[in-house]
């Protein structure tokens, strides 16, 4: 069972949680420990996106041209998971937004497309970015093809070699994709000189992408990031805003539980932030970001100031962080292996608005398989974390005999991730709960950084 | 730009072209040259589907339970290809049905799901089938998971080895997939004994699947086919019936050109047959099935009686055929490499209702890449044949200065077919136009079979 919205019914504004957090967001800090000013970011991002990044306006208009571009796959359908409900014999009603319908197969184009459009408006001709497993790199490649920008993706070398299909998607959309570290940047060359066989890392790839953007002396190149930052989460809120309209359309007045998987935080925020607003205004809703036990940023790491990358090229962000030197175990949910978490999601956790949970890999694959055999659509490994939590909540509702309404974000399909399913079905996978001593060791990298003071400070 | 239908607006009957063909369909013939009776087919198919196969009713009700199952992804969106139109500077308005939104990523579940449901209703517990590249095998696996049947797929060995992801999709949905020839059937063992290294063929896989179904002495196993037969095409007509409602919704009163790629004929028939009815009733529409030049069934082969498989296990079907011993060159559009064509599509060609075209592989990939970089969604290699024809028609409309309405079936996505794109982008692909002497040689296999007399004969 599905609910569509017509294009005329699409939300025309994004929702900015920064406007409603009881305690205002803390500013990012520069290397000198002082707040970063918007103009400091201008070599990296175009000014129109920096304005969104620092905005405290509650509603931000979606330009008509961006809506036209989003119509290529949005509004996305809201499904009711009737087959899962039946299989679980739960009285809960389970709804999900199917973000797998986008050309790239995930929620990522929701921000890739506006980012490409704003860059184009600003006169930019080329975007650079990094990608791990390739979800973000392919989404940005698609967006650049759509609006007419060049696109260069630095893909973590081990993924570049192990996941050739994601690279091929980028090529099909006309983007250039090189393994990172590459010989094209100083960062890359330095690393290759010392360690020619390095598998690469997201931290290195970010550094290469930023270096490439900043190095273009014509000023026509910028960098683009697929999660964590405020403007990225802002663009994703169209998911939750659509969901609200769809639920209203079928007469669902009240949502009890909202769930999304959380890596950098963007798909979770996209669905949940409009409901966080309801919660701030007094509604009773459990809002659950779900992360892997192997990378327990929200459930076990402190709220701190930390760098977004290993090479410490980014400003210090106020966020939950396992430490920028954290190396995640090789779980298949590559999108959930980030050491930090979006500042807006972190702040909402600090405010007590969210109830984070962590899930083991095997339970997630078990849930993904159960899902595929009831609801049909094969989920991405990241999405399976949300599904595992949904099943727990549905079983709880059955045990309590409660007719709960559960809403979650089906963030993407797993058609490019079938190797992980194969390993699971053949019994070759394992769990990687993070040992306490590894956590403590990793947290040492943030020990000497400035500490956030959670107080009613001003904005940047 | 897209048009959705709500679930309430879905068509509630399938359309059966057999009721409206000016000359009634010729019957299939048995080994003795006499028409096959419905009961002869009952060891292979359940009686409720055989009734559909031989029906001459114009409209056949879709059971409410089947509609509920189809709601998992239907109604599928109708898109207007605004970016392609702009890139081609054409005055034509180009619309396409996006059948890539199904869990299996193609139009195949439109018949897999009803077939599984009718078998379940008939008390069947297990289905067998064959698959080449894996589109059909994965669709039937999904359908069996949805309705609760066991599923066994014989996959052509070379594809089994070269395309492990399609096999993994089947496994995720709980189906068993074995390489064909296998040691599990007499057919398979005989072939392996003589040629242990055979790459397999669709003909062998069909024989193994039918043998396995018939061999189950409990009578609880049947065989399922993904194209060619009347009931398969019937189920696909939901595509064209939805398209008509969607076009009406946005005020498009007249379609000028209808296009679909054609292998066995099911996706083409699914979109086009409701428009063929309009044409029979006097409307001016160009209706174009598009096939590869390497497998030119409709454009160069005769209308004849021929077997559906190499092993001659199937009845003789009245159809355009390159001869059942035809071996197609290794083009990437695996779904278009069949030697025959659905009898209903063939009959419509004989009646002059369709205008078949053939396309070269390189032009199809060029069109697919152009499509991906304008419209975003990456098409399957089969679908790219339709796209190549659409581009030709759109350019013609520009040259003629005509505001034509072009509608086509975007039959599936190409996310499991990226290796073909890689070969094309690296310049490693070639065209395979069928040499006349090869055609003549292949046609020898039908020389001594009964010849169809196209006349007002009765039905079976």
With contact defined as beta carbons under 8 Å apart, do B321 and B311 qualify? no
- For residue B155, the cross-strand partners are B131, B179
As a whole number, mean pLDDT of residues A280-290 equals 98
Helix pair angle (A164-172, B361-374), 10° resolution: 80
Interface of A with B in 401-430 (CB under 8 A): 415-416, 418-419, 421-422, 425
Q: What pLDDT shows up at residue A454?
A: 61
Q: Give the best residue of B9, B72, B371 to mutate against chain A (max A CB count within 10 A).
A: B72
Per DSSP, the residues of B369-422 read HHHHHHT-PPBPHHHHHHHHHHHHHHHHHHHHT---EEEEEE-BB-TT-HHHHH
Model confidence band, residue B453 (pLDDT cutoffs 50, 70, 90)? confident
Q: Is B402 among the domain residues?
A: yes
Phi/psi at B176 (nearest 5 deg)?
-95, 135
What residues contact residue A340 under an 8 Å CB cut-off, 6+ apart?
Answer: A228, A264, A297, A306, A308, A317, A319, A320, A321, A322, A324
Query: Does residue A16 carry a pLDDT above 80?
Result: yes
Residues of the domain holding B377? 64-105+230-442
**Minimum-distance CB partner of A372 among B173, B373, B418:** B173
Model confidence band, residue A256 (pLDDT cutoffs 50, 70, 90)? very high
**Minimum-distance CB partner of A377 among B83, B103, B378:** B103
- pLDDT tens per residue across span A129-166: 999 889 999 999 999 999 999 999 999 998 898 888 99
Task: Measure CA B249 to chain center.
Answer: 28
| Chain A residues in contact with B419 (beta carbon < 8 A) | 168
Per DSSP, the residues of A95-122 read EEEEGGGSTTSBSTHHHHHHHHHHHHHT
> What percent of chain B clears pLDDT 70, i.e. is strictly above it?
98
What's the whole-model pTM score? 0.96
Contact at CB, B377 and A103, closer than 8 angstroms: yes
Contact at CB, B171 and A421, closer than 8 angstroms: yes
3-state secondary structure of B352: coil
CA distance A81 to A83: 6
Contact at CB, B169 and A415, closer than 8 angstroms: yes
Query: Is the ipTM, as predicted for this complex, more than 0.85?
Result: yes
Chain mean pLDDT for chain B: 95
As a whole number, mean pLDDT of residues A396-405 equals 97
Q: What angle do CA A13, A17, A23 make, to 5 degrees?
A: 155
* 3-state class percentages of chain A: helix first, strand second, coil last, to nearest 5: 45, 15, 40
With contact defined as beta carbons under 8 Å apart, do B393 and B92 qualify? yes
Q: What pLDDT shows up at residue B333?
A: 86
Q: Is B425 among the domain residues?
A: yes
More confident residue, B338 or B169: B169
Q: Is A212 among the domain residues?
A: no
Residue B377 touches chain A, beta carbons under 8 Å: yes
Residue B343 CB-density burial (10 A; 0-12 exposed, 13-18 middle, 19+ buried): buried
As a whole number, mean pLDDT of residues A89-96 equals 98
What is the maximal distance between C-alpha atoms in chain A? Answer: 64
Residue A369 touches chain B, beta carbons under 8 Å: yes
Model confidence band, residue B457 (pLDDT cutoffs 50, 70, 90)? very low
What residues contact residue A435 under an 8 Å CB cut-off, 6+ apart?
Answer: none
As a whole number, mean pLDDT of residues A379-392 equals 98
Residue B250 touches chain A, beta carbons under 8 Å: no
Query: Does residue A346 carry a pLDDT above 50?
Result: yes
**Minimum-distance CB partner of B376 among A6, A79, A142:** A142
- pLDDT tens per residue across span B181-212: 999 999 999 999 999 998 888 888 998 999 99
Contact at CB, A415 and B418, closer than 8 angstroms: no
Model confidence band, residue A460 (pLDDT cutoffs 50, 70, 90)? very low
Residue B376 touches chain A, beta carbons under 8 Å: yes
CA distance A237 to A18: 12
As a whole number, mean pLDDT of residues B10-38 equals 94
Contact at CB, B415 and A105, closer than 8 angstroms: yes
Q: What pLDDT shows up at residue B81?
A: 98
CATH code for the domain in which residue B380 is found: 3.40.50.1100
| Chain A residues in contact with B372 (beta carbon < 8 A) | 145, 172-173
Q: Is B264 among the domain residues?
A: yes
Model confidence band, residue B387 (pLDDT cutoffs 50, 70, 90)? very high
Tokens matching residue B103: 């869990």
Q: Is A371 among the domain residues?
A: yes
Residue B325 CB-density burial (10 A; 0-12 exposed, 13-18 middle, 19+ buried): middle
Query: Does residue A328 carry a pLDDT above 90?
Result: no
Q: Searching chain A, which residue's CA lies closest to the CA of residue B169?
A: A418
Q: What pLDDT shows up at residue B309?
A: 83
Residue A149 touches chain B, beta carbons under 8 Å: no
Identify the CA nearest to A97 among candidates A113, A110, A114.
A110
Residue B169 touches chain A, beta carbons under 8 Å: yes
Element (H, E) at B116: helix B109-121
Contact at CB, B425 and A171, closer than 8 angstroms: yes
Q: What pLDDT shows up at residue A360?
A: 97
Q: Domain total for chain A?
A: 1
Contact at CB, B2 and A7, closer than 8 angstroms: yes
CA distance B337 to B296: 9
Contact at CB, A2 and B1, closer than 8 angstroms: no
With contact defined as beta carbons under 8 Å apart, do A48 and A451 qualify? no
Residue A230 CB-density burial (10 A; 0-12 exposed, 13-18 middle, 19+ buried): buried
What residues contact residue B310 under an 8 Å CB cut-off, 6+ apart?
Answer: B201, B202, B203, B204, B324, B325
- For residue B188, the cross-strand partners are none
**Minimum-distance CB partner of A378 among B169, B369, B376:** B169
Torsion sign, CA atoms B231, B234, B235, B236:
positive
Interface of A with B in 51-80 (CB under 8 A): 68, 71-73, 79
Q: Searching chain B, which residue's CA lies closest to the CA of residue A172?
A: B369
Model confidence band, residue B159 (pLDDT cutoffs 50, 70, 90)? confident
As a whole number, mean pLDDT of residues B393-414 equals 97
As a whole number, mean pLDDT of residues B376-392 equals 98
Q: What pLDDT shows up at residue B312?
A: 86
Query: Does residue B332 carry a pLDDT above 90?
Result: no
- pLDDT tens per residue across span B351-360: 999 999 999 9
Helix pair angle (A361-374, B135-147), 10° resolution: 90
Q: What pLDDT shows up at residue B147?
A: 97
Residue A400 touches chain B, beta carbons under 8 Å: no
Model confidence band, residue A459 (pLDDT cutoffs 50, 70, 90)? very low
Return the half-sphere exposure (C-beta side, CA atoms, 13 A cut-off) of residue A363: 18
Q: Is B270 among the domain residues?
A: yes
Identify the CA nearest to A135 among candidates A334, A269, A296, A290.
A334
Q: What pLDDT shows up at residue B161?
A: 87
Q: What pLDDT shows up at residue B454?
A: 62
Element (H, E) at A134: none
Query: Does residue B455 carry a pLDDT above 80?
Result: no
As a whole number, mean pLDDT of residues B146-175 equals 94
Q: What pLDDT shows up at residue A39?
A: 94
Contact at CB, B172 and A416, closer than 8 angstroms: no
Residue B61: Cβ within 10 Å count: 11
Task: Measure CA B297 to chain center.
Answer: 14
Tokens matching residue A228: 């964590």
> What percent of chain A clears pLDDT 90, i.e. is strictly above it?
87
As a whole number, mean pLDDT of residues B438-451 equals 93
CA distance B430 to B366: 12
Residue B145 touches chain A, beta carbons under 8 Å: yes
| Chain A residues in contact with B173 (beta carbon < 8 A) | 372-373, 376
Identify the CA nearest to B265 among candidates B240, B300, B290, B302.
B290
Query: Does residue B274 carry a pLDDT above 70?
Result: yes
Residue A41: Cβ within 10 Å count: 19
Q: What pLDDT shows up at residue A310?
A: 79
| Chain B residues in contact with A373 (beta carbon < 8 A) | 145, 172-174
DSSP state of B127: E
Contact at CB, A101 and B103, closer than 8 angstroms: no
Print burial letters for A64-84: b (CB count within 10 Å at least 16), e (below 16): eebbebbbbbbbbbbbbbbbb
With contact defined as beta carbons under 8 Å apart, do A180 and A204 qualify? yes
Residue B112: Cβ within 10 Å count: 31
Q: What pLDDT shows up at residue A201?
A: 85
**Minimum-distance CB partner of B165 among A71, A172, A418:** A418
CA distance B24 to B457: 7
Q: Is B338 among the domain residues?
A: yes
CA distance B146 to B116: 9
Interface of A with B in 270-309 (CB under 8 A): none
Query: Does residue B64 carry a pLDDT above 90?
Result: yes
Q: Is A54 among the domain residues?
A: no
Model confidence band, residue A17 (pLDDT cutoffs 50, 70, 90)? very high
Contact at CB, A4 and B6, closer than 8 angstroms: yes
Chain mean pLDDT for chain A: 95
Q: Give the best residue of B112, B116, B168, B369 to mutate against chain A (max A CB count within 10 A).
A: B168
- pLDDT tens per residue across span A31-83: 888 999 999 999 999 999 999 999 999 999 999 999 999 999 999 999 999 99
Residue B162 touches chain A, beta carbons under 8 Å: no
- pLDDT tens per residue across span A226-245: 999 999 999 999 999 999 99
Query: Does residue A329 carry a pLDDT above 90?
Result: no
Query: Does residue B459 carry a pLDDT above 50?
Result: no
CA distance B347 to B341: 10
Tokens matching residue B256: 């000028």
3-state secondary structure of A60: strand
Task: Measure CA B198 to chain center.
Answer: 26
Query: How many inter-chain contacts (A to B, CB under 8 Å) are there?
Result: 100
Task: Say if strands A286-292 and A176-180 run parallel, antiparallel, or are unpaired.
Answer: unpaired
- pLDDT tens per residue across span A178-223: 999 999 999 999 999 999 998 888 888 998 999 999 999 999 999 9
Per DSSP, the residues of B176-226 read EEEEES-SSSHHHHHHHHH-TT----HHHHHHHHHHHHHH-TTS-EEE--S
Contact at CB, A83 and B146, closer than 8 angstroms: yes
């Amino acid at each position: 069972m599905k609910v569509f919205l017509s294009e005329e019914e699409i939300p025309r504004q994004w929702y900015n949680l920064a406007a409603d957090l009881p305690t205002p967001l803390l500013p990012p800090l520069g290397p000198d420990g002082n707040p970063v000013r918007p103009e400091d970011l201008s070599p990296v991002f175009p000014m129109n996106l920096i304005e969104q990044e620092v905005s405290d306006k509650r509603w931000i208009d979606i330009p008509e041209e961006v809506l036209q571009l989003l119509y290529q796959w949005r509004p996305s359908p809201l499904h009711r998971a009737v087959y899962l409900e039946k299989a679980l014999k739960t009285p809960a009603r389970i709804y999900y937004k199917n973000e797998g319908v986008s050309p790239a197969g995930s929620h990522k184009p929701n921000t890739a497309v506006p980012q490409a459009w704003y860059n184009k408006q600003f006169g930019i001709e080329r975007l650079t970015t990094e990608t791990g497993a390739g979800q973000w790199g392919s989404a940005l490649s698609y967006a650049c093809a759509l609006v007419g920008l060049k696109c260069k993706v630095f893909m973590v070398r081990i993924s570049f070699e192990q996941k050739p299909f994601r690279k091929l998607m980028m090529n099909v959309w006309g983007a250039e994709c090189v393994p990172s570290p590459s010989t094209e940047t100083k960062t890359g060359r330095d690393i290759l000189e010392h360690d020619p066989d390095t598998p690469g890392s997201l931290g290195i790839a970010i550094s290469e992408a930023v270096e490439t953007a900043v190095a273009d002396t014509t000023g026509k190149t910028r960098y683009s990031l697929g999660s964590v930052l405020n403007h990225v989460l802002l663009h994703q809120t169209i998911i939750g805003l659509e969901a609200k309209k769809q639920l209203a359309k079928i007469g669902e007045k009240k949502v009890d539980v909202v769930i999304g998987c959380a890596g950098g935080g963007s798909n979770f925020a996209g669905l949940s932030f409009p409901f966080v607003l309801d919660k701030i205004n007094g509604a009773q809703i459990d809002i659950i970001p779900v992360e892997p036990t192997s990378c327990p940023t929200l459930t076990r790491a402190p709220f701190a100031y930390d760098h977004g990358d290993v090479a410490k090229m980014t400003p210090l962000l106020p966020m939950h962080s396992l430490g920028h030197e954290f190396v995640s175990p090789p779980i298949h949910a590559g999108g959930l292996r980030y050491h930090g978490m979006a500042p807006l999601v972190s702040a909402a956790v600090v405010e007590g608005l969210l109830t984070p949970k962590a899930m083991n890999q095997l339970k997630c694959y078990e849930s993904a398989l159960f899902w595929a055999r009831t609801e049909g659509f094969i989920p991405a490994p990241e999405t399976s974390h949300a599904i595992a939590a949904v099943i727990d909540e549905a079983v709880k509702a059955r045990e309590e005999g409660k007719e709960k309404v559960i809403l979650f974000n089906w963030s993407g399909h797993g058609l490019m991730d079938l190797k992980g399913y194969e390993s699971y079905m053949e019994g070759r996978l394992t769990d990687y709960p993070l040992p306490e001593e590894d956590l403590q060791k990793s947290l040492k990298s943030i020990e000497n950084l400035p500490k956030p003071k959670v107080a009613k400070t001003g904005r940047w």
